[in-house]
């Protein structure tokens, strides 16, 4: 039989229960209902989705309305879409976060019920989870015994490691909705600024294209670079964002122009 080494999971001089005592103490002291953190990545995701949609959709709409030759129509139509789009995006983000929170609560309650109804099966499932990490059952047994003394901790463990669900922050729903709605509004107001300050719709249209193209390139680069930390990915993100914006605006302009000509 091979001798125990320092990397061995069970050392004769250090029983398993002593090695896991800090973790067991943490299980006793940490509250199960501790609120989850609002991750920076969640906020960044909402900003990216809101701002990119705000840049693309209102820009495409104002480009299409520009073909009608009226600054007033562009401004009125653009503002109507901008406000309704921001409200829709914000509300959608809020409802999505609420749904995620309700789903987590439902799954957590289901795990509590299963802990009460099938405790042995749930204990066996903990061992199966740890088996995937190649942790010997003899080392896990003291941890499982301590964990299963508390119904709330036990159910929380099953949600975290069996279902692999992250506990949502109860305050994140309205933060997500507000972040995405404001990001959409800020992104959408940019292509409309030239129409507010220039009398000729054609000139405003050209300036709007130039300004929006620059922002699309910068935004596409930044969002990919922040996410991947790679300049090549940033350049590819800039190209993708610009192509999407150009296709959306070009399609909208062509369709409106054709419909107006037909009428």
pLDDT tens-place string over residues 165-178: 888 777 788 898 99
Range of the domain at 210: 40-262
Q: Which of 9-13, 74-78, 90-94, 213-217 has the lowest mean pLDDT?
A: 9-13
Residue 14 lies in a domain: no
Residue 210 lies in a domain: yes
Residue 12 lies in a domain: no
What is the mean pLDDT of the segment spanning 54-63?
A: 87
Residue 130 lies in a domain: yes
pLDDT in tens, 14-48: 444 444 444 444 444 444 444 455 566 778 888 88
CA angle, residues 210, 232, 234, in degrees to nearest 5: 45
Share of the chain above pLDDT 70, in %: 84
Residue 29 lies in a domain: no
Model pLDDT, residue 5? 42
Residue 15 lies in a domain: no
| CA atoms of 84 and 89, how far apart (whole Å) | 9
Residue 80 lies in a domain: yes
Number of domains present in the structure of the chain: 1
Q: What is the pTM of this model?
A: 0.70
pLDDT in tens, 222-244: 888 877 878 888 899 889 888 98
């Amino acid at each position: 039989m091979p001798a125990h080494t320092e990397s061995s999971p069970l050392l004769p001089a250090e029983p398993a229960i002593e090695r896991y005592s800090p973790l067991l103490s943490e299980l006793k002291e940490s509250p199960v209902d501790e609120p989850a953190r609002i991750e920076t990545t969640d906020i960044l995701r909402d900003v990216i989705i809101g701002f990119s949609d705000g840049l693309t959709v209102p820009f495409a709409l104002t480009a299409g309305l520009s073909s009608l030759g009226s600054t007033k129509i562009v401004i009125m139509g653009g503002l109507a879409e901008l406000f309704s789009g921001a409200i829709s995006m914000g509300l959608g983000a809020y409802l999505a976060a609420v749904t995620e929170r309700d789903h987590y609560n439902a799954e957590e309650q289901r795990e509590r019920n299963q802990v009460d109804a099938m405790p042995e099966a749930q204990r066996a499932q903990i061992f199966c989870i740890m088996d995937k990490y190649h942790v010997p059952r003899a080392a896990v047994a003291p941890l499982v015994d301590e964990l299963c003394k508390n119904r709330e901790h036990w159910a929380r463990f099953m949600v975290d490691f069996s279902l692999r669900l992250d506990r949502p922050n109860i305050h994140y729903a309205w933060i997500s909705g507000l972040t995405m709605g404001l990001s959409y509004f800020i992104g959408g107001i940019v292509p409309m600024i030239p129409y507010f300050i220039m009398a000729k719709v054609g000139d405003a249209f050209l300036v709007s294209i130039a300004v929006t193209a620059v922002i699309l390139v910068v935004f596409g680069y930044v969002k990919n670079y922040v996410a991947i930390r790679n300049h090549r990915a940033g350049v590819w993100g800039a190209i993708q964002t610009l192509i999407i914006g150009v296709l959306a605006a070009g399609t909208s302009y062509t369709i409106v122009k054709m419909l107006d000509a037909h009428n």
